[in-house]
């Protein structure tokens, strides 16, 4: 039931149009779409396919948004008349020139942008990459570069078509957890304020490279892997911001919220965040055990599902998070650890490294072959608190279809939490198993081949041969409250609140 037509966020908009859209979103929140997941095309590789081969790969997989790290003319030509939206990059090496000369900036726009639109649908210019943290000596020319490029776009009458911004690393934020206390490193405060004012004036977006892989691997074991991979957290490991009481079900949202709160700390609001790079390496060196196919598949497929849901972050639920995955290809020429070369989703010949589905993963077939006759059910002796948390999560962030366990529906049984949770767990498992979903739910679930279907309550994966019995669950224990599939795990308040706050207090001192 995705409505892709409502496209407040699919393109660029003036700040007044932004305001109207923001208002509409309040009313049409659940219909919001136009949110997208694109892909980064890094080219640090010895066997880069030709631009037309690259475009074939994109088209074959329905990829509609790409980020380039430069403005390669062959690539821009290959992308012409494809309907693919393009973010082009100004390489870090060109920033000084552009930031010091209005004429250089105008030449750059004429040569690399004006010459290609409208045939090539260029919608963003990303000026540099992580300039403040990688080439701090260029910090003072960053905002002039943005301003000169904007003036040149204005002169070419392209300022509505193309927005200008600059991607930052999480390194510009000091202490990103809890998100509510995040602030920009004050070293760059004056540049940051000018940058934000520029974004505000031009209706552009804050660009953030948000990498839970690094947050997790440099977190010294403080963050559970499940948190980085958008998987369900054990009930006694929920991660709550002690100031806002927002529960963070994944590190990605916490990183994006850290950016929102940092902007708020310098009095800027309503500037949307675009995530310009995120991903997970599928292969690493001997000391990089978390870089593997299972984790990369789980991260990227859960990310796509999360972003396409359009539900934003806990602090900004009405601003969808448009996101670019790193990266299209492995880049064997990149320096650094083995994992640095292995973030790709595709080999140069166009075959996928692992079976990521770029489509709407939430609508995968729930009855996929291979899982027929296999069921994920709640353990009858599971801790009830943990079961409720698991149920809320499966029906919320997990994306299970829980309509059959609503009151009045065939699988509803007010007195049997185990039966209801089993239905939700199983639905989640059948939707996501192919893309790395697991049957765990805080150790409250298990795999079985006994078909729990009964009467007209049919579980995903059922062969339909066991629908006559009256149910096979443990006897009812006690009634429990209504289930609201809409509110998900992010608003449920776990009972073990004290330990959560303690964990949060601990996390407070960890810098992502």
Ligand X SMILES: *[C@@H]1O[C@H](CO)[C@@H](O)[C@H](O)[C@H]1NC(C)=O
Task: Name the pairing type of β-strands 173-174 and 183-184.
Answer: antiparallel
* Subset of residues 402 to 421 that bind ligand X, contact rule: CB under 6 A: 403-404
Binding residue (CB under 6 A) for ligand X from 8, 9, 10, 319: 10
* Subset of residues 251 to 270 that bind ligand X, contact rule: CB under 6 A: 266-267
Binding residue (CB under 6 A) for ligand X from 93, 118, 455, 476: 118
Half-sphere exposure of 292 (CA within 13 A, CB side): 9
Q: How far is the CB of 212 from ligand X (least distance, A)?
A: 19
For ligand X, which stretch binds (CB under 6 A), given 13-21, 308-316, 318-326, 474-482? Answer: 308-316
Q: Which CB sits closer to ligand X, 5 or 286?
A: 5
CA dist., res. 98 & res. 359, Å (int): 38
- In which region does residue 62 sit, left (phi positive, over 0), alpha (psi from -120 to 50) or beta (all else)? left
Question: What backbone torsions phi and psi does residue 395 show, to the nearest 5 degrees?
Answer: -80, -20
Torsion of CA 146, 149, 154, 155, to 10 degrees: 150
Q: Which residues have a Cβ under 8 Å from the Cβ of 5 and sit 6 or more positions away?
A: 33, 34
Torsion of CA 172, 85, 356, 278, to 10 degrees: 0
Q: Which CB sits closer to ligand X, 148 or 324?
A: 324
* Subset of residues 73 to 112 that bind ligand X, contact rule: CB under 6 A: 83, 85
Q: How far is the CB of 102 from ligand X (least distance, A)?
A: 27
Binding residue (CB under 6 A) for ligand X from 465, 479, 481, 482: 465
Q: Which CB sits closer to ligand X, 278 or 462?
A: 462
CA dist., res. 38 & res. 64, Å (int): 7
Q: At what angle do helices 417-432 and 384-395 cross, to 10 degrees?
A: 40
Q: Which CB sits closer to ligand X, 106 or 249?
A: 249
Contact predicate 424/402, CB 8 Å:
yes
Q: How far is the CB of 464 from ligand X (least distance, A)?
A: 4
Q: Which CB sits closer to ligand X, 95 or 419?
A: 419
Residue with tokens 């192919």: 434
CA dist., res. 225 & res. 230, Å (int): 9
* Subset of residues 342 to 381 that bind ligand X, contact rule: CB under 6 A: 347, 349, 351, 362, 367, 372
Q: Which CB sits closer to ligand X, 46 or 349?
A: 349
**Residue 401 near ligand X by CB under 6 A:** yes
Q: Which residues have a Cβ under 8 Å from the Cβ of 13 and sit 6 or more positions away?
A: 21, 203
Binding residue (CB under 6 A) for ligand X from 218, 355, 456, 469: 469
Contact predicate 171/131, CB 8 Å:
no
Q: Which CB sits closer to ligand X, 148 or 188?
A: 188
Q: How far is the CB of 131 from ligand X (least distance, A)?
A: 12
Residue with tokens 């650890």: 337
Q: How far is the CB of 485 from ligand X (least distance, A)?
A: 6
**Residue 449 near ligand X by CB under 6 A:** no
For ligand X, which stretch binds (CB under 6 A), given 13-21, 53-61, 335-343, 463-471? Answer: 463-471
Q: How far is the CB of 99 from ligand X (least distance, A)?
A: 19
Question: What backbone torsions phi and psi does residue 233 show, to the nearest 5 degrees?
Answer: -90, 145
Contact predicate 85/65, CB 8 Å:
yes
For residue 399, give the nearest of 423, 431, 441 by alpha carbon. 431
Binding residue (CB under 6 A) for ligand X from 488, 500, 504, 507: 488
Q: How far is the CB of 511 from ligand X (least distance, A)?
A: 7
Q: Which residues have a Cβ under 8 Å from the Cβ of 1 and sit 6 or more positions away?
A: none
Q: Which two tokens stand for residue 301?
A: 């497929």
Q: Please count the residues of this chain forming the interface with ligand X, following the rule CB under 6 A.
A: 49
Residue with tokens 């396409």: 308
Q: Which CB sits closer to ligand X, 92 or 123?
A: 123
CA dist., res. 208 & res. 259, Å (int): 8
**Residue 385 near ligand X by CB under 6 A:** yes
Binding residue (CB under 6 A) for ligand X from 8, 9, 105, 121: 121
For ligand X, which stretch binds (CB under 6 A), given 152-160, 215-223, 281-289, 484-492? Answer: 484-492
* Subset of residues 216 to 235 that bind ligand X, contact rule: CB under 6 A: 235
Q: Is the dihedral of CA 12, 15, 16, 20 positive or negative?
A: positive
**Residue 478 near ligand X by CB under 6 A:** no
**Residue 317 near ligand X by CB under 6 A:** no
| Gyration radius of the chain over CA positions | 24
Q: Which CB sits closer to ligand X, 83 or 482?
A: 83
Q: How far is the CB of 43 from ligand X (least distance, A)?
A: 18
Q: How far, rounded to the nearest angstrom, does the alpha carbon of residue 182 sit from its chain's CA centroid? A: 20
Binding residues for ligand X, rule: CB under 6 A, are 1-2, 10-11, 83, 85, 118, 121, 123, 136, 174, 185, 187, 235-236, 266-267, 309-311, 347, 349, 351, 362, 367, 372, 383, 385-386, 396-397, 401, 403-404, 450-451, 458, 460, 462-466, 469, 472, 485-486, 488, 496
């Amino acid at each position: 039931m995705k409505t892709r037509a409502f496209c407040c966020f699919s393109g660029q908009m003036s700040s007044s149009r932004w305001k109207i859209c923001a208002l509409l979103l309040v009313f049409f929140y659940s219909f919001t779409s136009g949110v997208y997941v694109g892909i980064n095309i890094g080219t640090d590789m010895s066997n880069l396919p030709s631009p037309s081969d690259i475009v074939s790969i994109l088209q074959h997989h329905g990829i509609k948004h790409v980020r380039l790290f430069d403005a390669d003319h062959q690539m821009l030509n290959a992308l012409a008349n494809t309907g693919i939206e393009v973010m082009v990059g100004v390489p870090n090496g060109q920033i000084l020139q552009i930031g010091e000369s209005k004429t250089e900036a105008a030449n750059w726009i004429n040569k690399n942008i004006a010459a290609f639109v409208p045939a090539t649908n260029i919608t963003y210019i990303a000026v540099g990459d992580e300039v403040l943290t990688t080439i701090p000596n260029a910090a003072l020319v960053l905002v002039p570069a943005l301003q000169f490029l904007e003036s040149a776009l204005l002169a070419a009458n392209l300022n509505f078509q193309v927005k200008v911004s600059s991607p930052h690393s999480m390194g510009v934020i000091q202490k990103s957890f809890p998100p509510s206390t995040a602030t920009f490193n004050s070293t760059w405060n004056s540049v940051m304020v000018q940058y934000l004012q520029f974004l505000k004036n031009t209706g552009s977006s804050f660009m953030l490279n948000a990498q839970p892989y690094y947050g997790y691997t440099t977190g010294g074991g403080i963050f559970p892997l499940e948190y980085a991979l958008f998987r369900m957290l054990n009930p006694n490991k929920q991660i709550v911001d002690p100031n806002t009481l927002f529960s963070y079900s994944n590190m990605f949202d916490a990183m994006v919220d850290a950016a929102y709160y940092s902007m708020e700390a310098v009095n800027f609001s309503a500037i949307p965040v675009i995530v310009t790079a995120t991903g997970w390496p599928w292969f690493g060196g001997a000391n990089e055990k978390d870089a593997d196919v299972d984790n990369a598949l789980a991260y990227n497929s859960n990310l796509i599902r999360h972003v396409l849901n359009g539900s934003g972050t806990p602090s900004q639920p009405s601003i969808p998070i448009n996101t670019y995955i790193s990266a299209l290809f492995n880049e064997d020429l990149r320096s650094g650890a083995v994992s640095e070369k292995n973030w790709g989703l595709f080999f140069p010949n166009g075959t996928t490294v692992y079976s990521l589905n770029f489509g709407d993963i939430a609508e995968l077939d729930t009855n996929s072959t291979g899982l027929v006759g296999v069921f994920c059910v709640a353990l009858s002796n599971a801790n009830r608190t943990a079961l409720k948390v698991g149920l809320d999560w499966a029906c919320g962030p997990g994306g299970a279809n829980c309509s059959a366990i609503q009151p009045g529906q065939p699988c509803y049984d007010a007195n049997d939490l185990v039966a209801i949770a089993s239905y939700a767990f199983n639905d989640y498992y059948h939707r996501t198993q192919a893309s790395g979903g697991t049957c765990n739910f805080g150790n409250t679930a298990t795999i079985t081949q006994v078909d729990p279907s009964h009467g007209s309550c049919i579980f995903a994966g059922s062969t339909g041969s066991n629908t006559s019995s009256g149910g096979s669950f443990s006897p009812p224990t006690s009634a429990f409250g209504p289930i609201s599939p809409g509110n998900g795990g992010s608003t449920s308040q776990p009972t073990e609140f004290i330990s959560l706050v303690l964990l949060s207090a601990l996390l407070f001192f960890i810098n992502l």
